[in-house]
């Protein structure tokens, strides 16, 4: 059932008001007729008689468009509800033949310059905001409600897996580590790493002591803990200090190990396969899969939280700015304006004209599907107020014509 809007209520009130006015005018004509008969005023009688005839005739004509006058099924009345199908067919033919005409449309399109008008409209902030509001309030939330979370998560999983499987991580690792074979960068990075390890060793001396104490026999009563801890700590610190020296044996051994590892990564297919398998195996872990699944939830939550901010929504403001920039970009690009106008004039117009019969049939079938009574009531609501002027004019013009006829009749009798 169609919802009645405040605008419909106002239109109904205006229609009733005009109907009462037209009826009151006809009532005045009837009253004048009675007065003219009673007081024997011929001119007033002529005016009132013609006014009544004109008012009643036009009332009949107006009412006959929408329903049977007084509910009597007189022939050729209730034209709109009974002739609805013919009206729809004629309307479809009229639109397809008169409106969908290439010559006429091309002239109008050239005069209108759609691309310029559209770009001017889009470049205005208030118009861009209107579109952005529709996108932010209706389109995006509608899409989020329509999309199934499970489908999106499955899609992300499949795409993520396919992309990873298409990457040769061995080549990437080899390419990333290749600069380490160059002396300065490799030595600097290794020195920095050893400095960090040395500092961490110093910061965790108490932790080392606790670990040593937990590993020594209880019978030592802790006497060996301190000496063992100092031995372990000093030994590690000496090793790191020795490794820091570029020419030390330890440093040379480390350099050899790094060089051999990089050569294997670069030249050994087996090593690259192991790197690939290691990374893909890591990605396949449940924790990583849960994180990937949570990506969509985070995206959806972020979008929803942003959209509820209204005028402060980053998404809405970004869409508005994008629309404005698009409009300004078109305005400053004559080539693009010509392309858009030519597209509408040639391609889009051709599609429209090639399907004009379909469009006509669509209009016709749509009108035929409407309920006759509802169509009649809706049309009366839209144009009935203006049609009451026909009744008003019929009453007044009828009265004037009645006086004219009376005057002509009197002149005829006077001279003949």
Residues 382 and 270 in one domain: no
Write 310-316 long-range contacts (CB < 8 A, 24+): 313/136, 315/136, 315/140, 316/129, 316/132, 316/133, 316/135, 316/136
Q: 385, 15 in Cβ contact below 8 A? A: yes
Greatest mean pLDDT range, 18-27, 309-318, 325-334: 18-27
Residues 166 and 78 in one domain: no
Residues 165 and 286 in one domain: yes
Compare 369 and 210 and report the one with higher pLDDT: 369
> Which pLDDT value is given to residue 178?
65
> Which pLDDT value is given to residue 177?
65
Residue 311 has pLDDT above 90, yes or no: no
Percent of the chain with pLDDT over 70: 90
Residues 286 and 375 in one domain: no
Q: What is the mean pLDDT of residues 20-48?
A: 95
- Assess if residue 62 is contained within a domain: yes
> Which pLDDT value is given to residue 10?
92
Quote the CA–CA distance of 10 and 15 in Å, as a whole number: 9
Residues 77 and 168 in one domain: no
Residues 284 and 385 in one domain: no
Compare 202 and 134 and report the one with higher pLDDT: 134
Among 6-10, 73-77, 198-202, where is mean pLDDT lowest?
198-202
- Assess if residue 354 is contained within a domain: no
- Assess if residue 246 is contained within a domain: yes
First to last CA, the chain: 68
- Assess if residue 231 is contained within a domain: yes
Among 89-98, 316-325, 382-391, where is mean pLDDT lowest?
89-98
> Which pLDDT value is given to residue 19?
94
Among 42-46, 287-291, 306-310, 396-400, where is mean pLDDT lowest?
287-291
Percent of the chain with pLDDT over 90: 29
Q: What is the mean pLDDT of residues 385-407?
A: 94
Quickly list H helices, 268-371.
269-283, 286-307, 314-331, 334-342, 349-354, 356-369
Nearest to 397 by CA among 25, 29, 51: 51
Tally of domains in the chain? 2
253, 268, 290 — which closes off a domain?
290
Each residue of 109-126: pLDDT tens digit? 777 788 888 899 999 999
Q: pLDDT tier at 207 (50, 70, 90 boundaries)?
A: confident
Among 2-16, 57-71, 180-194, where is mean pLDDT lowest?
180-194
Q: What is the CA radius of gyration of the chain?
A: 45
Residue 130 has pLDDT above 50, yes or no: yes
Helix, strand, or coil (residue 248): coil
Q: What is the mean pLDDT of residues 343-365?
A: 84
267, 290, 313 — which closes off a domain?
290
Q: What is the mean pLDDT of the chain?
A: 83
Q: Give every CB contact of residue 262 below 8 A, 6+ residues apart in sequence.
A: 174, 177, 178, 180, 181
Q: pLDDT tier at 225 (50, 70, 90 boundaries)?
A: low
Residue 203 has pLDDT above 90, yes or no: no
- Assess if residue 200 is contained within a domain: yes
Q: What is the mean pLDDT of residues 345-355?
A: 82
> Which pLDDT value is given to residue 392?
95
Among 51-65, 211-225, 230-244, 351-365, where is mean pLDDT lowest?
211-225
Q: pLDDT tier at 206 (50, 70, 90 boundaries)?
A: confident
> Which pLDDT value is given to residue 31?
96
Tokens of 168: 């040769």
pTM: 0.49
Residues 282 and 384 in one domain: no
- Assess if residue 362 is contained within a domain: no
> Residue 252 sits in which domain range?
161-290
259, 290, 321 — which closes off a domain?
290
Q: What is the mean pLDDT of residues 216-228?
A: 57
> Which pLDDT value is given to residue 21?
95
- Assess if residue 389 is contained within a domain: yes
- Assess if residue 205 is contained within a domain: yes
Greatest mean pLDDT range, 172-181, 273-282, 335-344: 335-344
Among 225-234, 296-305, 403-412, where is mean pLDDT lowest?
225-234
Residues 73 and 179 in one domain: no
């Amino acid at each position: 059932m169609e919802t009645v809007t405040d605008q419909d209520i106002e239109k109904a009130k205006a229609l009733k008001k005009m109907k009462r006015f037209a009826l009151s005018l006809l009532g005045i004509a009837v009253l004048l007729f009675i007065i003219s008969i009673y007081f024997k005023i011929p001119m007033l009688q002529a005016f009132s008689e013609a006014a009544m005839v004109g008012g009643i005739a036009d009332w009949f004509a107006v009412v006959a468009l929408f329903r049977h006058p007084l509910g009597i099924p007189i022939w050729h009345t209730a034209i709109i509800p009974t002739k609805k199908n013919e009206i729809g067919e004629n309307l479809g033919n009229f639109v397809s033949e008169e409106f969908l005409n290439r010559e006429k449309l091309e002239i109008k399109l050239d005069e209108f310059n759609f691309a310029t008008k559209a770009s001017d409209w889009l470049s205005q902030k208030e118009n861009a905001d209107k579109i952005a509001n529709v996108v932010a309030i209706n389109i995006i939330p509608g899409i989020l409600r329509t999309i199934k979370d499970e489908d999106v998560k499955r899609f992300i999983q499949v795409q993520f897996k396919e992309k990873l499987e298409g990457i040769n991580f061995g080549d990437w690792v080899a390419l990333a580590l290749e600069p380490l074979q160059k002396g300065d960068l490799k030595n600097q990075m290794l020195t920095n790493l050893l400095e960090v390890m040395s500092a961490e060793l110093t910061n965790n001396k108490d932790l080392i002591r606790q670990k040593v104490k937990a590993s020594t026999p209880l019978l030592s009563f802790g006497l060996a803990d301190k000496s063992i801890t100092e031995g372990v700590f000093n030994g590690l610190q000496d090793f790191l200090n020795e490794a820091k020296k570029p020419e030390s044996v330890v440093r040379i051994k480390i350099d050899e190990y790094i060089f051999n590892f990089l050569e294997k990564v670069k030249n050994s297919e087996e090593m690259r396969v192991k790197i690939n398998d290691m990374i893909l195996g890591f990605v396949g872990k449940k924790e990583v899969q849960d994180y990937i699944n949570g990506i969509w939830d985070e995206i959806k939550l972020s979008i929803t939280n942003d959209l509820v901010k209204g005028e402060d929504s980053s998404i809405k403001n970004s869409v508005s700015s994008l629309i404005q920039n698009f409009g300004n970009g078109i305005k400053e690009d004559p080539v693009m304006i010509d392309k858009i106008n030519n597209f509408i004039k040639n391609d889009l117009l051709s599609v429209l004209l090639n399907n004009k019969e379909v469009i006509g049939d669509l209009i016709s079938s749509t009108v035929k599907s409407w309920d006759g009574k509802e169509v009649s009531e809706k049309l009366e609501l839209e144009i009935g107020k203006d049609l009451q002027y026909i009744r008003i004019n019929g009453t007044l013009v009828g009265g004037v014509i009645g006086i004219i006829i009376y005057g002509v009749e009197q002149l005829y009798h006077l001279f003949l």
